[in-house]
């Protein structure tokens, strides 16, 4: 019987094959240099590929990485033409069209605005502009999920005080409920919270009024489950209408609790999530990178669609280290398509033989403030029984981003 280490070595050899067949090396242009953009840059930089990063916020960690040549641009939300001119001017320095990778919603929207023009100067794969714009609206995502015949939680769009009062008055919610963005880009520019967990109608009204006062529409959605281990993600790379690679993951901890991002995430095998994710992708013309979130309701014994991100996701470095490298496959597809083969079936045979964890070390420590001793002991036991592949920002060969994060999070005056 083949051991786990031997199987992992086998799939890493597949990735090595892809790298060794390179004949022309493209530069990589990363749009957005926060955590996700940093991980993308580190992946390519370690391979000797020239990486340029573009962002308007110099506090983002990618500006500290030795693998990325950072270039500060204006905010694409307010100055899209200036950002476009900077990118095009830089692309003209290269014979080969650079590979373009957006790592945040604001830059994904930027690509949708200038899609046709950007194709003349860059190689990239995203959904068509009209699909991108749908994905960047959280309620349109729900409509896409319904069209795909997926279960969705009860949801209401709130755009005015009348909407808010009407929903609170006429619907007897089983609290808690979640308040989430209608437009995640404008929300992120105004608020530091990803979402709100609300446990009564008075708090719902108070937070709702606050959001409407800053002209921010939002969605009220039923909370499917407060158990973080009921949260699953289907990650896929779609090229020319095919799902070339996919990976299902499960959350074991998130920060902030219940409405945050995963800070302990592990590989898992869940056939139902695989089928639901594939159904959504194929029904809605999703291309490029894709991350779909689901939540399991143990009372109704159903999985519910939560949201989709049509870009590189936070735990992308996890795939690099376990040898199932989404970024390299994407890069090589753009450089020499004839050498790329589908790894989807190859993956299913052994990738989930052992639980492999990705950990956001900084948010892990911050989350301990919110959990009781019993929960913390369970987490420590999980860490000892699992194989940890990655510690998020902590990289011994690129330590400056981690030091910068420590200063920002724990040494604030």
Domain ranges for the chain: 24-124, 154-222, 228-410
How far apart, in Å, are the Cα atoms of 225 and each of 80, 259, 292, 354? 39, 11, 17, 26
Average pLDDT, the chain: 86
Q: What does pTM read for this prediction?
A: 0.88
Q: What is the pLDDT of residue 373?
A: 61
For the residues of 244-255, what is the DSSP string, one character each? Answer: EEEEEEEEEEEE
Of the chain, the percentage scoring pLDDT greater than 70 comes to: 86
Query: 3-state DSSP call for residue 300?
Result: coil
Contact between 342 and 289 (Cβ < 8 Å): no
Architecture of domain 228-410: 2-Layer Sandwich (3.30)
Q: Considering the domain 154-222, what is its CATH architecture? A: 2-Layer Sandwich (3.30)
* Beta bridge partner(s), residue 52: 29, 69
Q: What is the C-alpha separation between 179 and 155, in angstroms, rounded? A: 10
**Mean pLDDT, residues 91-104 taken together:** 95
Alpha helices by DSSP H, listed for 268-325, are 271-283, 316-321
User: What CATH number belongs to 24-124?
Assistant: 3.40.50.20
Using a 10 angstrom Cβ sphere, with 0-12 exposed, 13-18 middle and 19 or more buried, the burial of residue 199 is exposed
Beta strands 99-102 and 28-31: pairing type? parallel
Model confidence pLDDT, tens digit, residues 289-320: 999 999 999 999 999 999 999 999 988 887 87
User: What whole-number percentage of the chain has pLDDT above 90?
Assistant: 62
Own/partner long-range contacts of 403-406 (Cβ < 8 Å, ≥24 apart): 403/64, 404/61, 404/64, 405/61, 405/362, 406/362
Q: Kindly indicate the confidence band of residue 391, based on its pLDDT and cuts at 50, 70 and 90.
A: confident
Across 252-274, average pLDDT: 87
Q: What angle do CA 57, 325, 245 make, to 5 degrees?
A: 110
Query: Does the pLDDT value for residue 48 go beyond 50?
Result: yes
Q: In the structure encoding, which two tokens stand for residue 183, read together?
A: 């437009």
């Amino acid at each position: 019987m083949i051991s786990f280490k031997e199987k992992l070595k086998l799939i890493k050899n597949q990735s090595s094959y892809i790298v060794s067949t390179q004949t022309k090396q493209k530069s990589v242009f990363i749009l957005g240099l926060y955590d996700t953009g940093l991980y993308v840059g580190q992946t390519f930089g370690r391979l000797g590929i020239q990486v340029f990063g573009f962002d308007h916020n110099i506090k983002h960690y990618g500006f500290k990485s030795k693998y990325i040549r950072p270039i500060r641009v204006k905010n694409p939300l307010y100055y899209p033409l200036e950002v476009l001119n900077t990118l095009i001017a830089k692309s003209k320095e290269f014979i080969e069209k650079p590979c373009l990778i957006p790592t945040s919603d604001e830059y994904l929207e930027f690509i949708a605005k200038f899609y046709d023009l950007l194709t003349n100067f860059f190689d990239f794969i995203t959904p068509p502009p009209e699909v991108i714009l749908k994905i960047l609206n959280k309620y349109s995502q729900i409509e896409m999920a319904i069209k795909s015949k997926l279960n969705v939680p009860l949801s209401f769009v709130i755009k005015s005080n009348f909407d808010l009062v009407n929903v609170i008055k006429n619907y007897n919610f089983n609290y808690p409920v979640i308040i989430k963005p209608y437009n995640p880009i404008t929300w992120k520019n105004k608020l530091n919270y990803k979402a709100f967990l609300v446990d009564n109608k008075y708090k719902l009204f108070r937070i709702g009024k606050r959001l409407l006062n800053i002209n921010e529409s939002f969605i009220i959605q039923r909370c499917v489950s407060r158990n973080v281990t009921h949260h699953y993600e289907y990650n896929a790379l779609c090229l020319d209408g095919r799902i070339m690679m996919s990976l299902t993951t499960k959350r074991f901890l998130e920060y902030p609790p219940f409405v945050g991002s995963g800070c302990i995430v592990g590989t898992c095998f869940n056939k139902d999530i695989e089928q639901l994710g594939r159904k959504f992708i194929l029904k809605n013309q999703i291309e490029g990178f894709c991350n779909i979130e689901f939540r399991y309701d143990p009372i109704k014994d159903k999985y519910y669609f939560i949201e989709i991100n049509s870009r590189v996701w936070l735990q992308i470095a996890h795939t690099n280290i376990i040898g199932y490298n989404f970024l390299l496959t994407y890069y090589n597809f753009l450089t020499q398509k004839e050498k790329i083969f589908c790894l989807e079936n190859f993956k299913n045979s052994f990738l989930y033989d052992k639980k492999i964890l990705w950990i956001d070390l900084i948010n892990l420590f911050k989350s301990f403030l919110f959990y009781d001793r019993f929960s913390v002991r369970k987490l420590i036991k999980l860490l000892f029984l699992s194989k940890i592949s990655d510690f998020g920002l902590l990289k011994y060969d690129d330590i400056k981003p981690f030091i910068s994060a420590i200063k920002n999070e724990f040494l604030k005056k």
